[in-house]
Structures are given as C-alpha cells and as structure tokens.
Amino acid sequence: MTQPRRAAAAPIPDTEVPAPSEMPSPGRMEAFSDGVFAIIITLLVLDLRVPRLTALHGTLGAALLDQWPTYVAFTLSFLQVGVVWSNHHTMFHYIFRTDHKLLAYNLLLLMAVAVLPFTTAVLSEYIRGDDAQRRLAAQIYSGALMAVGVAFNAIWQHPLNAHLVHPHSDQHRLYALRRHWLLIPVLYAAAFALAFVNVYVSVTMYIVLLLYYALPGPFVLRRVTAWQARKELAA
Amino acid sequence: MTQPRRAAAAPIPDTEVPAPSEMPSPGRMEAFSDGVFAIIITLLVLDLRVPRLTALHGTLGAALLDQWPTYVAFTLSFLQVGVVWSNHHTMFHYIFRTDHKLLAYNLLLLMAVAVLPFTTAVLSEYIRGDDAQRRLAAQIYSGALMAVGVAFNAIWQHPLNAHLVHPHSDQHRLYALRRHWLLIPVLYAAAFALAFVNVYVSVTMYIVLLLYYALPGPFVLRRVTAWQARKELAA
Amino acid sequence: MTQPRRAAAAPIPDTEVPAPSEMPSPGRMEAFSDGVFAIIITLLVLDLRVPRLTALHGTLGAALLDQWPTYVAFTLSFLQVGVVWSNHHTMFHYIFRTDHKLLAYNLLLLMAVAVLPFTTAVLSEYIRGDDAQRRLAAQIYSGALMAVGVAFNAIWQHPLNAHLVHPHSDQHRLYALRRHWLLIPVLYAAAFALAFVNVYVSVTMYIVLLLYYALPGPFVLRRVTAWQARKELAA
Amino acid sequence: MTQPRRAAAAPIPDTEVPAPSEMPSPGRMEAFSDGVFAIIITLLVLDLRVPRLTALHGTLGAALLDQWPTYVAFTLSFLQVGVVWSNHHTMFHYIFRTDHKLLAYNLLLLMAVAVLPFTTAVLSEYIRGDDAQRRLAAQIYSGALMAVGVAFNAIWQHPLNAHLVHPHSDQHRLYALRRHWLLIPVLYAAAFALAFVNVYVSVTMYIVLLLYYALPGPFVLRRVTAWQARKELAA
C-alpha cells in the first residue's frame, strides 16, 4: 500500500524554505522577453526565399540581387531589434524586483517591438515608391519606435519610483540612463514630423539613432564627463 | 595512453552533491512554458504582410488600412496570451516542486493557449460576418478560453492538494487565487451561452474579462478587504 | 583620462572564482533544447488557417470542419512532442555533468524530434488515402519515432557509462529507466513491420505508446513492484 | 488606507544585496543566443511540406522523394547550426563577465548564423544547376560561414584581451581554442577561392570542416599532444 512518490511530497521542515516574496526577481520576465526578442529578431529571415531552379528566369545572381529590399529589411530589422534588446538588457541589469505594473509595461514594450520587423519591411519596400508612399512608410516606422520609446520610459520610470532597482546602484547612472532613454520618443517624434518636410532627413535620423543607441549606456554623457574631468585635472 | 578528459569524469566525492529529489523544482517547466508562450504571443505578427510596391492598387495607406482585421487580431491575441502568461507567472511564483501530473496539466494548458491566436483571428474576421458566423466565432473563442480556464484550475488545484506550493505561502492568498481562477471557465461558459442570445454581450464580456485578469491577482477581493479594513478602523 | 568601465575589468582576486570545470552542468543544453522543443511543439499551429470571409463557400462551420485533418495533426503532434519533452525532462533530472558526446547525441535527438510534426501531418493526411499511401505514412511515422528512440538511448546510455549522472541517484531507478527507454525503438520497429500486415494495428500501437510514455517513468514496473510489496506484506 | 503590496517595496537593508557589477555575467546573453539558435536551427523544418492528398499526382512515395533537396537542406542546415551552437557553448563556458562590445559582437554572430539556413538551401538547390549557378551557390555558402568565422574570432579575441574569461582557466587551452577558431574564416576563404577552380573541392571542404568543428575543442591538437606524451613516456 506504500506509495513512495506521494510520501516525498509530505510537508518539508519549516526552516528550509523562505516564504515567497510578493515581489519576485525578474528572472522569468527576462526569460520570456528573451524568447519574444529572439523570435522577433529572426522574423524577417523567413522572407529570404530561395528561387526555385526550375522557375528561374535569367541568372541566379540576378534573381538573388532582385530580392535586395528583403536583405536590407532583414539587416535593418535585426540591428534595430538587437539594439532594443541590448538596452532592455542594460535596464534589467539594475532591476532586481518586479511587480505587476512592471510586467504590464514590459508586455506593452514587447508588443511594440513585435511590429518593428513589419514597419522596417514597409519602409525598405516603399523607400523606392513615390513621395506620398515614402512619407507614410517613414511615419509608420517613426510611430512604432515612438511606441517602443514610450514603453521603455514607462518601464524605467516605474522601478525608480517604486524602489525596484538594486538598492546599491549608482544613482547618477540610473538618472543618466533615464535622460538617455527619455530622448527616444522625443527624437522619433521629431523624425515623424520631419517626414512631412523631407523623408531623407528622417531616414538619416533613423541611422544615426540606431548607431547612437547601439553604444553602451549614455555614451555621449560619459565622454563629456570624462572630457571635463581631464580638463579639470589639466587646470 | 592518458586521457585527461575522461579522468575528470571520475566519481566525485560523496559529500559534494545531494541526491536528486524525486520532485524537481519547476525551473525547466517554466523555461519550456516561456518558450511556448513567446512563440504563441508572436504568432499573429506573421500575418502582418507588406503589400508589394509593384502589386499596389490605390494608395499605400488604403492597402494597409484594408488589413485592419489582422491588426485587431494581433493586438487582441497578444494581450490575451500576455494576460494568460502573467497569470501563469503568478501561479508558478507559489509552486516550488513539481510532479508528473503538474507537468501533464501544464502541457494541456499550453495546448489550449496555442489555439488562442487562431480563435482570436476567427473572431476578428467573422465579427463582420452574418449572425450565424458571428455567433459561431464567439463560441469558438469562448470554448478555447474555457479550455484554458479548466487547465488553469487543474494546474492550481493539484499543488494545493499535493503540497507542491511553498510551505510558507500565505494560505489566504492561495485560496483567494483559487476562487479568482475558478471563475475563468464559469464566466467563459456564460459567454458561450450568451452568444445564442446576443453576440455583442459575449464580446463585451471578453473585453471586461481580459482587463480584469490583466489586473494583479484577486484585485476586487483585495479592494473589498482593504475597504472593509478601513471601515472597521473608522468605526 | 580615467576610464572607470575598463578599470572594473582588472583581474579579480584568485580566491573568488573557481576554475571552470571541463564538464559543465547541463543548464545551457537544457535551455537550448527547451527552445527547440518549444518551437517544434507549436509548429503545426501555423497550419491552422482562418478561411477568409470574402472567399467563404457554404457556412463557416463547414469550412472549419473541413480542416479536421489539420486539427488532428496539431493535437497528435503536440502530444507526441510533449511526451518526448517530458521524458527528456526526466532524463536530464539525473544528469548533472555534460561532455561533448552528450551534446552531440542531444543534437541528433532534437533533429529527429524536429521532423515529428511533418511525419504526424503525413500520417493524418494519408490515413484517408489508399492502402499503399496509408502504409507508407505509417512507416514514415514509425521511422521518425525509431530515430527518436535510438537517440534517446544513446543519450541515456552514455551518462551511465561516463559517470555523468548525479552520484547519489537511485541506481535501481536509473536502470529501470534504461529498460523503459530501450523499448521505444524496439516497439516502433515492430509498428513499422506490422504496417505491412495491417496499418490499423500500427496506429493502435502509436496511441498506446503515446499514452504509455506519457505516464511517469517506468510506470508499469513501479506498479508491479508495489503490488509485489503489498502481496509480501499480506503474506 | 493600508496598502500591503506597496509596503513590501520599502528599501531593503543595505547588507542584503551587493551593488550590481558594471560587467554582468553572460547568463542573459546565453539565454537570448540560445533562443535565436533554437529558431534558426528549426527554420528549414518549415519547408517540409505535406503534399495534399487531393492534389497528388503519382504515388505518395514519389511525391515525397521529389522533395529531396529540402531534406538535404534541412539536415545540412541543422548540423551546421548545431555545430556553431556547440562551439558557442564551448566559448561561453570560459567567459564569465560581459561588456557592451562582447554583446555587439555576439549580435553580429547571430545575424551571420541567421542566414545559414538560407545559404544552405541555395546550395542544395543549385548544386543540381549549371556550372555558374553551382559556383555562385558555393561562394554564397562560403561567404556566410566566413562571416560567422570572423564574428567568432571577434567574440573570442575580446574576452582574452579584456580579462572577461574565468581567471583560473587553463591558459594553454584558451590559446589553443583561439588557433582552432582562427582557422574558420581562413579555411572558408580558401573554399570561396577554390570554387572558381572546382566547386566539388569546396563542397568536400564544407563536409570535412563541418565534421572537424563538430569534434570537441581543438581535437587534432589534443591528439598530437597525447601522442607526443605517449612517445616521451615510451622513450
């Protein structure tokens, strides 16, 4: 009548396990986000299609080159999502407790990120279109990144207010990061508006912003501080 | 003749490693579930299609707006799966040992969740259809969420019975959560039945339930308790 | 001239970190496998297609019912991959060190598992076909699961030989599991052969084996042992 | 008026939690990479298509055999990505701190790996083509693996320079691995060049290199060292 497996489930001693905190560590939120990011970043690989040998008109090289907007879209989208992931990684490095609000904001961020491959593909297809198409494509692209930026700031502002960051974090860095990320929605709103004037200004901004946010943390700020420190030392 | 790599595999001292428990921690179950959730939540992004420039009739704006049921389906499905994930996250916060039954129930939950993007897409396509189509779509949608609800309750009831929850968990909260989740299949069964009367009542219920289960834990219960406590303090 | 970030990278004190073992823990192998399993298990969801409202002939119900082989394939494939995952989970519960061979065997397992959605879909499509089609479909299905079984046994035999299992594991259970898993390729080879005689015998075996391997560990063995123990106690 | 949840968020005691390091452990980078690898390795499974029963011309066997380039592409791509993952696993076994540069190099590696299923499918389709097609397909294949190799070396060179490897790692092994991986881009560059002379030489190289890098670490080097040790012992 003995059931060894059930027996093992007897209540374990009181001292062994602490009560679960009401504010769990962000481990599982990071794991879920990483899964979503991993899928989104590879999404446009699905658009790389091998032309069938039997259906080929002209050379293979020409057929492959003909798909160039797909390659551009894949590369841009991969880099753009990669940069968002890398900033998400920086952000959660300082967060060590979560609550329900943080979880909700993070889901909204993931939803905004999920449309980036789509908006990137629209832009890379219609940059070859007429003026109106080009402008609309740029504004859709700006809009998605504005939404990403707003969600980013919601995520980051909340832990600062609700004491969810590591208690020993460098406060200067936390607020430098806030300024750093606060600029994202502002700058993409500017790119949105500038698309009415000249789409190529907006596109240039996308590339500059992609590269800037690929740099570690508040890069410029860090360099300015270091330069001031050197100047003071020299004086 | 020496094989340094094999040597490292010699039996390690007895005291170093404890015997593996028959009831492992749910770490890997969570990781696998997170992977499945991550895929399911992004599934409808695949339906966002860029209209080809050369195949475009009319403006780009019109072509994109024409896809609106796809956008509605993506948004609803993302939020619905996100809410399920968030409740799964709450649930497993209290579970710290697993057994085979829990694993089986969890697989059934994941299978039910996996069809949510499909049932959501059916609903958002046929809400524009005739009465019979609209009703069937709503009932399919209700049915999938009833299945999700049943699996949720199977998962949660089992650890309560089999001592798989953290031994120091707040018992009141565990049972408040049980009541909270017990309502899911009941309410979606009601939505199923009401679709015979008026589909829009069911659809309103979906939105209310989506928002309600997006709130942390037993939100209303918590508020009622807090309100009673305040009243008692005032008396 | 100061660069605080680079300074942090100075060599850390000797005592803090142990040298990396040549046989890492299987953590990352499990994480990678979980990712692959999560994708494979959801693969056939992609085949659930919403019939377009404007292209609908007849009722929505009829159009959806018409897709029934897709639903069967999805359900079977989900359960089959779920059962493989659950056995993989049991297996790696006892493995606590890895080497290169284990990693290679695990990759081969994942490759065999990756074709299960395909072979399941072939079977559920051609079970309605003629005799020759039905037989071939069953043999392809058996073949894939034979490959899964062979890989499973390679994975499990190796840690037993090379001391990669937890040193305090219950030896009886380890060898009971070996017998349990040794039967997989044998039984699917039998199902392969029986398909020449009668396909429905093979299909019945698939269902029985699916259910049997869904049970925890060597279920029958455990029950026999418990029954013997009870009989001895009664005597 | 009491809000128990908010109260729990009060600053926790100073001594409990250490300040977050500026150089986090690579845990999340590995998790994200594993997700991306898991998707890429299963990508070509999507190309395995079940011929519809009603659309079948000739036998099922013939229809399935007709898809053989798809099977070859899937198998090759799975093995190729699996070998890259396994080397990534070896590499990160020795890395225990990360910085922003490592993260960027890793993203570039993942981008190069993401195109491997595509370049493999091109090769397995056009190996049946004419001379020019075959050569181009081989050069695209070589090019993608050269890019993978370059990213691999960037990832590995950086931690060696910037003290991000485990401080107690065997230095000989670290530098043996460097030589091991330094050969990847060189050998694939050779395969690229040789495709001008004879494509089949390049294809032979792909198979040899796939097998060689499937072996653990610097396999040949290890064997040579062991052989020398044995010779010295014998002398």
Q: What is the per-residue pLDDT across A133-186, written as a single tens digit (0 to 9) for each?
A: 999 999 999 999 999 999 999 999 999 999 899 888 888 888 889 999 999 999
Q: Are D70 and D43 a contacting pair, CB within 8 Å?
A: no
Q: Which tokens belong to D156? A: 């590995």
Containing B230, the helix (H) or strand (E) segment is: helix B219-234
Residues of chain B with C-beta less than 8 angstroms from the C-beta of A5: 22, 99
Distance CA D60, CA C133 (A): 6
Distance CA C126, CA D64 (A): 12
Angle at CA C221, nearest 5°, toward C216 and C223?
A: 80
A172 touches chain D (CB under 8 A): no
The reported pLDDT for the residue numbered D12 is 45
Q: Are C68 and B66 a contacting pair, CB within 8 Å?
A: no
Residue for token pair 């697989």: B107
Distance between the two ends of chain B, CA-based, in angstroms? Answer: 87
Angle at CA C196, nearest 5°, toward C193 and C202?
A: 65
Residue of C nearest to A38 (CA): C35
Q: Which among D22, D46, D89 is the nearest to C5, CB-wise? A: D22
Q: Coil, strand or helix: which one is C235?
A: coil
**Residue C98: CB atoms within 10 Å:** 23
Residue of D nearest to B234 (CA): D1
Cα dihedral across residues C132, C135, C139, C140: positive or negative: positive
Low-confidence ranges of chain C (pLDDT < 50): 1-15
Say whether D12 and A167 touch across the interface (CB within 8 A): yes
Q: Which tokens belong to B72? A: 């509605």
Q: What ipTM did this prediction achieve?
A: 0.86
B45 touches chain A (CB under 8 A): yes
Distance CA B40, CA C39 (A): 9
In terms of DSSP H, where are the helices of chain C? 4-7, 27-42, 60-65, 68-94, 100-114, 116-126, 131-161, 171-197, 199-214, 219-234
* Model confidence at B149: pLDDT above 50: yes
The reported pLDDT for the residue numbered B8 is 37
Q: Which among D42, D52, D61 is the nearest to C40, CB-wise? A: D42
Distance CA A127, CA B167 (A): 60
Say whether A168 and D40 touch across the interface (CB within 8 A): no
Average pLDDT, chain B: 87
User: Which of B70, B85, B111, B128 to probe by mutation at the C interface, max C CB count within 10 Å?
Assistant: B111
* Model confidence at B184: pLDDT above 50: yes
**Residue A196: CB atoms within 10 Å:** 11
Q: Please tell me the distance in Å from B108's CA to the nearest CA on chain A.
A: 19
Q: Which tokens belong to C24? A: 């890492």
Say whether D118 and A167 touch across the interface (CB within 8 A): no
Q: Which among D3, D5, D230 is the nearest to B1, CB-wise? A: D230
Share of chain B above pLDDT 90, in %: 65
Distance CA B153, CA B82 (A): 18
The model's confidence at residue A57, banded by pLDDT at 50, 70 and 90, is confident
A234 touches chain C (CB under 8 A): no
Which residue type, as a one-letter code, is found at position C29? M
Say whether B2 and D38 touch across the interface (CB within 8 A): no
Q: Which among B35, B50, B53 is the nearest to A35, CB-wise? A: B35
* Model confidence at B5: pLDDT above 70: no
Residue of B nearest to D2 (CA): B226
Distance CA C181, CA C113 (A): 15
Q: What is the dihedral of CA A213, A214, A218, A222, to 10 degrees?
A: -140
Say whether A36 and B31 touch across the interface (CB within 8 A): no
The model's confidence at residue A1, banded by pLDDT at 50, 70 and 90, is very low
pTM: 0.90
Distance CA C154, CA C110 (A): 13
C229 touches chain A (CB under 8 A): yes
A55 touches chain B (CB under 8 A): no
Say whether B45 and A117 touch across the interface (CB within 8 A): yes
Angle at CA D225, nearest 5°, toward D221 and D226?
A: 115
* Model confidence at B22: pLDDT above 70: no
E runs forming strands in chain A: none
Q: Are A137 and B63 a contacting pair, CB within 8 Å?
A: no
Q: Which among D17, D36, D117 is the nearest to A41, CB-wise? A: D36
Q: What is the per-residue pLDDT across D44-63, written as a single tens digit (0 to 9) for each?
A: 999 999 999 988 889 999 99
Higher pLDDT, A17 or D130: D130
Distance CA A224, CA D44 (A): 48
In terms of DSSP H, where are the helices of chain D? 4-7, 27-42, 60-65, 68-94, 100-114, 116-126, 131-161, 171-197, 199-214, 219-234
The model's confidence at residue D215, banded by pLDDT at 50, 70 and 90, is confident
Cα dihedral across residues D54, D57, D58, D60: positive or negative: negative
Angle at CA C156, nearest 5°, toward C192 and D217?
A: 115
Among C residues 134-163, those touching chain B with beta carbons less than 8 Å apart: 162-163
Q: Which tokens belong to B190? A: 């009601």
Residue of B nearest to A107 (CA): B82
Q: Rounded to the nearest 10 degrees, what angle do helices D171-197 and D131-161 cross at?
A: 160
Residues of chain C with C-beta less than 8 angstroms from the C-beta of A230: 1
In sequence order, what are the residues at sequence separation of 6 or more whose Cβ sits closer than 8 angstroms to the Cβ of residue D193?
none
Residues of chain D with C-beta less than 8 angstroms from the C-beta of C107: 78-79, 82, 86
* Model confidence at D132: pLDDT above 50: yes
